Amino acid sequence: MKSSKEVVVDIWKSHNNYLAKKSVNLETVNVVDYLANLFCPGPYYYYIIDSPTLTLDIVSDSIQTVFGIKPQDFTLNMFIDRIHPEDLSFFLRCEDVVAHFLKNRIPPSDMVNYKINYCLRERVANGSYRLFLMQTVTMQTTEDGALLKVFGTHTDIEHITSINNKKLSLIGLNGSPSYLELDVFDDTVFDDFVPFEYTMEKPIFTTRETEVIKLLAQGLSTEMIALDLNISVQTVFTHRKNILRKTSAKNTSELIAECIRKGYI
């Protein structure tokens, strides 16, 4: 079984000539020009992806405010690690549908004329999850339509809504037609779309164990966790014992550090 990071790369590579094979140097970019086409009604961060290597050419300084990570240290894997577990399957299907659309439904010359929109819950610097509007625009492709550079922004919209509608919008720019609020799990999202099949690693912790870990990370004692979850102190002790057994951690501090590092909380 594969991790979500491995699965999304497999999805991208399953679409013929979706990612270009050779990188090109990033030309001078006026970020303001790209932001002008994007809706950013709250705090946001942006980046430019080098698609052949799946590395980041540019990351905004605001990433440190959002995630507590220095721009030069941020990677795509770190972003994927911060997606809410319940939104992962939606993220993977969106990327599958987007790749199909860009490679099969429009000519290569139109790839730069679409803005991709959908929402995800992302884990921020304080350990909580907030809803972000993710918007990406293709900046540059090869002549035959393989991605070279992609500009993306993620905007915190938790102050507007905390509910992810789990819909994908493909918004046409420069007169191109739009496809709004698509249900990516609908079998007829596009007539010729065949979903990528995958099997992902199962979470090592149960839902209740994850709740206990999050409360431990907030500094709550065993007794306080029992009250918060309306369970007995002995049950909390049992959960804590089982949690430690599933990790390499020797104490609570090591446990929390490991869970944050691996994206469990």
Question: 248 φ, ψ to 5°?
Answer: -95, 5
CA 240/CA 252 separation, integer angstroms: 9
Three-state secondary structure of 219-258: CCCHHHHHHHHCCCHHHHHHHHHHHHHCCCCCCHHHHHHH
Q: Which DSSP string do the residues of 163-224 spell out, in sequence order? A: -----EEEEE-TT---EEEE-TTSTTSSTT--PPP--BPPPSS-HHHHHHHHHHHTT--HHH
As a whole-number percent, the residues of the chain with pLDDT over 90 amount to: 69
More confident residue, 151 or 199: 151
The pLDDT of residue 40 is 81
pLDDT tens for each residue of 140-150: 999 999 999 99
The pLDDT of residue 126 is 85
pLDDT tens for each residue of 70-117: 999 999 999 998 899 889 999 999 999 999 999 999 999 999 999 999
- Residue 34 · residue 137 · CB < 8 Å: yes
> What is the location of CATH 1.10.10.10 in the chain?
207-261
Residue 97 Rama label (left phi>0; alpha psi -120 to 50; beta): alpha
Please name which of 202, 5, 199 lies closest in space to residue 95, comparing C-alpha atoms.
Answer: 5
pLDDT tens for each residue of 189-204: 999 999 999 887 777 8
Check: pTM over 0.95? Answer yes or no: no
The pLDDT of residue 263 is 67
The pLDDT of residue 1 is 60
Structure tokens at 174: 């420069």
CA 125/CA 82 separation, integer angstroms: 10
* The domain over range 4-182 is classified in CATH as 3.30.43.10: no
CATH number of 207-261: 1.10.10.10
> What is the location of CATH 3.30.450.20 in the chain?
4-182
